[in-house]
Amino acid sequence: MAEKRRLAVFASGYGSNFEAIQKACEEGTIPNAEVVLVVSDHRDARVCSLAKDAGIPLLDFCPKEYPNKAHYESIIAERCEEEKVELICLAGYMRIVGPTLLEAFRGRIINIHPSLLPSFKGAHAIEQALSAGVKVFGVTIHYVDETLDGGKIIAQRAFPYEGNDIEEVTSLTHEVEHILYPETIAKLLQTNK
């Protein structure tokens, strides 16, 4: 059996996408892969408890405890290198990735965003889409570069929604995310053998 492909998941909050990725690795929907590191910028985030419960190494940190982003990102990059991480999956990591991490993992960081990019970039995509009155919502997976939610698009999935209920559309978005993210990771690993 070939060595397992090594993923890191970065998340700031609830961690439902982490759960979906982790489950997909366990069940083989993402074949021959494992989450070897969870990184979180919120020590009390639910995702941290999930990682601990699953016995996955966790790097949790408080950005304010460091003089600057370059400082904590060099610690993250070093840890990812130590863990031989092949692909970093941002999953609700609500922080802009800076040059230190980008240079260390260029072309190996992907993100999930709850809109059909390039529409509705930033931290409140679903709210923005609802305010704009769109009738087709969606999810984008893209490479991370220096731009805000602007890196090359890898995959997108749309769904119709005509209502005006933020909770409902958020839950529909999550349903799509939990399928599309594992599917896309599996394809990327398959392509980059």
Chain CA centroid to CA 97, Å: 12
Nearer to ligand GAR, 32 or 143 (CB): 143
Q: Tell the smallest beta-carbon distance from residue 173 to ligand GAR (Å).
A: 6
Nearer to ligand GAR, 32 or 60 (CB): 60
Distance CA 130, CA 137 (A): 9
Q: Tell the smallest beta-carbon distance from residue 70 to ligand GAR (Å).
A: 22
Distance CA 141, CA 186 (A): 13
Nearer to ligand GAR, 33 or 180 (CB): 180
Q: Tell the smallest beta-carbon distance from residue 1 to ligand GAR (Å).
A: 30
Query: Which candidate, 174, 17, 139, 173, places its Cα nearest to that of 7?
Result: 17
Q: Tell the smallest beta-carbon distance from residue 139 to ligand GAR (Å).
A: 7
Interface residues toward ligand GAR, by CB under 6 A: 11, 13-17, 91-92, 112-114, 123, 125, 173-174, 177
Amino acid in position 131: S
Residue nearest to ligand GAR (CB): 92
Q: What is the dihedral of CA 188, 140, 27, 169, to 10 degrees?
A: 180
Q: Tell the smallest beta-carbon distance from residue 121 to ligand GAR (Å).
A: 8
42 is catalytic: no
Is 50 in contact with 15 (CB distance < 8 Å)?
A: yes
Nearer to ligand GAR, 71 or 118 (CB): 118
Considering the candidates 42, 71, 113, 174, report the single residue annotated as catalytic.
113
Helices 166-191 & 16-27 angle (0-180, nearest 10): 40
Distance CA 120, CA 140 (A): 11
Chain CA centroid to CA 23, Å: 15
Nearer to ligand GAR, 70 or 148 (CB): 148
Is 50 in contact with 75 (CB distance < 8 Å)?
A: no
- Residues serving a catalytic function are 113
